[in-house]
């Protein structure tokens, strides 16, 4: 009957987006959850390109609810902002292009953050990183678009005497498309 068709449709839709591969939780500076970005796809690399998709959930009334408007996405704090507190004020911050790269860097003990993909970093994010006593290293993706994005972020962050970051550098890991891939290939904290 009608219920079976809805069920079949739901199964088909779920199969088309693959499986949830990763979840990235955005929080306020105090650790309170705000939003969750879910990366859908397949562990099979060939299928993953076709199935790669992101969805959002918002933390509302003590539980996760589906959906997050583009305005609310744009207003999110930096990913892992709760790790950027005063205790880490003098530690170099690694700004990556995506959450997966930020998590990979954190697995090495690096202080990592991001706004997500290309185009998401804006002037409002600068305040989270301004005035730090240490460098901000922006890890560029290994292509022309990634380098352009990293340079855009550096231009927003750098400004001696303006309260912005005092030391900003752009780095790229040769032979890898991004930080996560370079760590998979054996990059260690000492080599960064």
* pLDDT 10s digits, 62-82: 999 999 999 999 999 999 999
If we measure between CA atoms, which residue out of 42, 69, 67, 41 comes closest to residue 53? 41
Predicted local confidence at residue 121, as pLDDT = 92
- pTM, rounded to two decimals: 0.84
Angle at 81 between CA 22 and CA 79, to 5 degrees: 30
Its sign, for the CA torsion 97, 83, 53, 123, is negative
Edge to edge, the sheet with strand 19-27 lists 19-27, 33-41, 53-60, 63-66
**Between 157 and 67, where is the model more confident?**
67
pLDDT for 104-138, tens place per residue?
999 999 999 999 888 899 988 988 887 777 789 99
The token pair that represents 164 in the structure block: 């912005």
Give 8's Cβ-side CA count (13 Å radius).
Answer: 5
């Amino acid at each position: 009957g009608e219920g079976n068709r809805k069920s079949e449709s739901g199964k088909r839709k779920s199969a088309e987006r693959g499986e949830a591969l990763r979840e990235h939780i955005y929080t306020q500076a105090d650790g309170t959850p705000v939003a969750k970005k879910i990366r859908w796809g397949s562990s099979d690399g060939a299928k993953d390109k076709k199935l790669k998709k992101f969805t959002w959930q918002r933390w509302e009334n003590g539980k996760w609810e589906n959906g997050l408007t583009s305005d609310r996405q744009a207003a999110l704090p930096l990913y892992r902002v709760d790790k950027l507190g005063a205790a880490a004020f003098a530690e170099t911050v690694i700004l990556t292009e995506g959450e997966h790269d930020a998590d990979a860097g954190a697995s090495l003990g690096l202080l990592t953050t991001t706004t997500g993909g290309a185009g998401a970093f804006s002037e409002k994010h600068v305040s989270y990183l301004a005035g730090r006593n240490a460098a901000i290293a922006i890890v560029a993706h290994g292509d022309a678009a990634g380098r352009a994005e990293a340079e855009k972020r550096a231009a927003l962050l750098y400004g001696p005497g303006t309260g912005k970051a005092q030391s900003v550098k752009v780095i790229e890991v040769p032979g890898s498309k991004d930080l996560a891939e370079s760590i998979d290939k054996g990059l260690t904290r000492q080599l960064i």
